[in-house]
Structures are given as C-alpha cells and as structure tokens.
Amino acid sequence: MSIDREKVQQAAQKYVEKKRYDKAIVEYSRLVQADPNDARTLLKIGDLQSKSGAFPDAIATYDRVGNLYAAQGFALKAIAVYKQIRELVARHAPQLDERYAYITPKLADLYKQLGLVSDAVSALDEVATKLQARNKHVEAIEVFQKIVELDPTNPLPHLRLAEAFSRAQNVDGAVKEFGVAAKQLISLGRRDDAIKVLERSLHHRADPEQARIAAEYYVDKGTQQDGLRALSKLQTCFQADPRDLDTLHLLSRAFTLIGQQQKSIEVQKEMGRIARDAGDLPKFQQIVDSLMQLAPNDEVVRRLRGQADTAREN
C-alpha cells in the first residue's frame, strides 16, 4: 500500500517542532517501512532517538544507515556514520562496545577503499590492541598481518606483528618478521635500531643469517667489547656452515678486535685453503696476499704463497 510521503514527512516535522520525538519516529518509520533503503529517513530516526536518550536504539539505527551507505558506495557518508556510532558507544553505551566491535574493521575497509592508508592502519591497530587485551592473540595476528599488507615498507608494522607472533609463541613467525624489520631499518640507515631488533629476534632463536648481520654490525663498531659480542654471534654462523668465507672473514676481524691476532691469522689460513679447494683463484690470491703482510715468515703462509704462485702461472 502506497503512502503520501510528503504528508507523512510534514506530520513528522510538526512532531519534531513540538519535541514529540517519539511520535515523529513513528511517522518516519512509516516511510522506512515503505522503503527500507531510505537511508536519509533512517538517519533522521537515529538523530531523534539520540536526542531522546535512547542511545542503544540510535546506535542500531545508525548501524543500518552505515551499512546502506557502504553498500551504495557512499564511503565517506558511511565513515561519518560509523564514527558517530563509535562516539555514542564510548560516551553513552560502553556496555555495547563488544557488540559493535565490528564497526572499527568496517571503518578500516572503507579507509582502504579511499586510499587513506594511515587512517586504515590506525583503525586496525586499535582493533589489534583490543584483541590482545582480551588475550585473543591469534585474531590479533590476523589484524597485524592486514596492517603489514597496507604498509609493507614500514618496519613498525613488522615489529608489531613479530611481537604478536611472540605472544602467541609462534617462533617462526616472530623471527621472520623481526628479520624483515631489521633489514628495513638497516636500509633506512638506522643500524642501532636494527641491532636491537636482531637481538630481540636472536633471543627467540639463533638464526644464522640474522646472527651474521649482527656480527657484522659489532665488528664494524670496532671496539674490543664489540669484538666479543661479534664472536658470540659468529658461533651460530660457524656451526651452521664452518666453511663459509664471509663468516670466517668476520671471525678473523673479531679476533683482531679482541687482541688475538694469531687466531685471526689461523682463520685466514683456513680461508685460503677453502678458496683454493673451491678453485676460486682470485679469492685465494687475495687471502694469501693479506697473510703475507701479516705473517710473511709463517711456514703455512709461505706454502700457501707457493701454491698461489703456481696456480697463477698455470
């Protein structure tokens, strides 16, 4: 049965002017019954319910409006309504916070649609923080992963995700994300921050690649104490591959830093033998040249020099 919309609207407006909000809502509801997708009229009903102090009803009505706007492609209007819902819940109906927890993820999706990455990240971060407060760590990880997808080159989301994995006792996930964050920090020139992240990661598991990066950092700092720190990291690398020349080179430098030059030379001898056996003549000759400067009278070094000369002639 059709209704005279203009007549109903006039009647509702008269009730509003008299502050008879309950009767105005009844009239506006007739319009919504005739057209359930009438978002503008629903919005008026929500406003009147809010003025009447019927906040739970207002929130439910605004939720319908937000859903309609979002479905109709009016993202900005939907965002405005969803933000209004969040404000009403926070100020007047905190007991409904969990029931309407889905509003913030909806906001994040709408921000994403509009390309408002920072706003989307902020909304998702709020969701993840609340989930963690409720010890819902697996669900929080899923949200942090969405944040990483939105802002993949920022080390902070990777750190937040790594810590979330750590809380959930997912060591593989934590180590991976700590590693990503550390590499990004290094690329940004923030090596001091990167080493803190690597130390945090290595606390979870002795990862050879991360241990080597940390060792290189400490060796480059160049103090005796840093040399000792590098040695502790290089143990992991050496156990993983005792013939890796990069690891052995760092090991040699670390021994030099702590004043054990002879051990440094012994490591370089081993490097020479490995390069020789691998057929890497340029590397072999480079190592031998360095050894001849450090220990020209050492019998093993002289023998290696002879082998390098023979290889060069051939």
Q: With bands split at pLDDT 50, 70 and 90, how would you rate the model's confidence at 160?
A: very high
- Three-class SS of residue 229? helix
Predicted confidence (pLDDT) at residue 4 exceeds the cutoff of 90: no
**Given this model, what pLDDT does residue 313 score?**
77
Q: Compute the distance between CA of residue 209 and CA of residue 105 in angstroms, rounded to an integer.
A: 36
**Given this model, what pLDDT does residue 3 score?**
81
- Write down the domain spans for the chain: 1-88, 101-205, 208-259
Q: With bands split at pLDDT 50, 70 and 90, how would you rate the model's confidence at 248?
A: very high
Q: What is the pLDDT of residues 213-235, one digit of tens each?
A: 999 999 999 999 999 999 999 99
- 292 close to 273: Cβ distance less than 8 angstroms: no
Average pLDDT over residues 244-255: 97
Q: Per the structure block, which two tokens stand in for 302?
A: 């002289």
Of 197, 107, 113, whose CA–CA distance to 143 is shortest?
A: 107
Q: With bands split at pLDDT 50, 70 and 90, how would you rate the model's confidence at 312?
A: confident
Predicted confidence (pLDDT) at residue 23 exceeds the cutoff of 60: yes
What does the CA dihedral 181, 185, 187, 191 come to, rounded to 10 degrees? -130
Q: Compute the distance between CA of residue 307 and CA of residue 185 in angstroms, rounded to an integer.
A: 44
CB count in 10 Å sphere of residue 145:
18
Predicted confidence (pLDDT) at residue 1 exceeds the cutoff of 60: no
Please state which CATH number belongs to domain 101-205: 1.25.40.10
Class of domain 1-88: mainly alpha
Residue holding tokens 């996930």?
173
Of 253, 260, 255, 244, whose CA–CA distance to 216 is shortest?
A: 253
Predicted confidence (pLDDT) at residue 170 exceeds the cutoff of 70: yes
Structural element, H or E, at residue 294: helix 281-294
Q: What is the pLDDT of residues 32-53, one digit of tens each?
A: 999 999 999 999 999 999 999 9
Average pLDDT over residues 240-253: 97
Q: Compute the distance between CA of residue 36 and CA of residue 38 in angstroms, rounded to an integer.
A: 6
Q: Per the structure block, which two tokens stand in for 126?
A: 């709020």
Q: What is the pTM of this model?
A: 0.79
**Given this model, what pLDDT does residue 193 score?**
97
**Given this model, what pLDDT does residue 224 score?**
96
The DSSP secondary structure of 42-93, one letter per residue, reads HHHHHHHHHHTT-HHHHHHHHHHHHHHHHHTT-HHHHHHHHHHHHHHHHHH-
Q: What is the pLDDT of residues 64-122, one digit of tens each?
A: 999 999 999 999 999 999 999 999 999 999 999 989 999 999 999 999 999 999 999 99
Average pLDDT over residues 153-170: 96
Q: What is the pLDDT of residues 137-147, one digit of tens each?
A: 999 999 999 99
**Within 13 Å and on the Cβ side, how many CA atoms surround 133?**
7
